[in-house]
Amino acid sequence: MKKWICFGFCLGINIISGLSLLFWLPAVGAVGMGFDSQPATVEATVLYIVLFNVLIYPIVFLVSLGCWSAYHKEKFTLAYFLASITVFWIILIILFILIFATVNSMFK
């Protein structure tokens, strides 16, 4: 039973993460366009950080595919962790943007 739950979790997360790659290229373009509207300020630094995080997402996705290797070796905890890396990455980017927007709005 434990094996099938891990299989379903890894498969579901990998499908969702793989589908999110469809939005990756437009996201890179949108972040890249942000450099046109900002002078060289703190906002530009944040754009570099967000651009780096968006550009590295496909690499994070490829690392998360390592969950299948851990799954076949019956290391289910490692499989759960590797499959969840992409979810943690997306949550981290969203939290970073929200925190910066909140802090930036307080000082304007």
Domain coordinates in residue numbering, the chain = 2-106
Mean pLDDT for 52-73 is 90
d(CA 60, CA 64): 6
44 or 69: whose pLDDT is higher?
69
For residue 40, pLDDT over 70 is answered with no
Q: Interior CA angle at 29 toward 24 and 30, to 5°?
A: 95
Q: What is the number of alpha carbons within 13 Å of residue 73 lying toward its C-beta?
A: 10
Instruction: Please state the pTM of the whole predicted model.
Output: 0.75
For residue 43, pLDDT over 80 is answered with no
